[in-house]
Amino acid sequence: MNGILCMNKPQEFTSFDVIGKLRGILHIKRLGHTGTLDPMATGVLPVLVGTAAKACDIMPCQDKIYRAGVRFGCTSDTLDIWGNEFCEYPDMYVTEQALREIIPAFTGEIEQLPPMYSAVSVGGKRLYELARKGIETERPVRKARVYSIELESFCEEKQEASLLVSCGKGTYIRTLLDDMGKALGGGAVMTSLCRTMASGFDISECYTFEEVKWAVDNGSIENLLIPTERLFDAYPKLHLNDVQTRMYRNGVKLDLGRIHNIIPDKSDYTVYSCDGAFIGTAKADFEHSELRCGKNFEER
- Determine the Cα–Cα distance for residues 83 and 188; give it in Å rounded to an integer: 12
**Which is it for strands 268-272 and 237-239: parallel, antiparallel or unpaired?**
parallel
- Determine the Cα–Cα distance for residues 67 and 195; give it in Å rounded to an integer: 6
- Determine the Cα–Cα distance for residues 178 and 71; give it in Å rounded to an integer: 10
b/e string for 61-81 if b means 16 or more Cβ within 10 A?
eeebbbbbbbbbbbbbbbbbe
- Determine the Cα–Cα distance for residues 195 and 57; give it in Å rounded to an integer: 20
- Determine the Cα–Cα distance for residues 254 and 270; give it in Å rounded to an integer: 14
Of 165, 297, 148, nearest to 231 by C-alpha is 297
- Determine the Cα–Cα distance for residues 53 and 3; give it in Å rounded to an integer: 8
Q: Which residues pair with 8 in a beta bridge?
A: 44
Of 275, 269, 232, nearest to 254 by C-alpha is 269
- Determine the Cα–Cα distance for residues 172 and 127; give it in Å rounded to an integer: 14
Cβ-based neighbour number of residue 297 at 10 Å: 24
* Axis-axis angle for helices 209-217, 15-26 (nearest 10): 10
- Determine the Cα–Cα distance for residues 165 and 110; give it in Å rounded to an integer: 14
Annotated active-site residue 179? The verdict is no
Question: Which residue in the list 38, 80, 178, 179 is annotated as catalytic?
Answer: 38
Residues contacting residue 223 through CB under 8 Å, at least 6 positions apart: 215
User: Which residues have a catalytic role annotated?
Assistant: 38
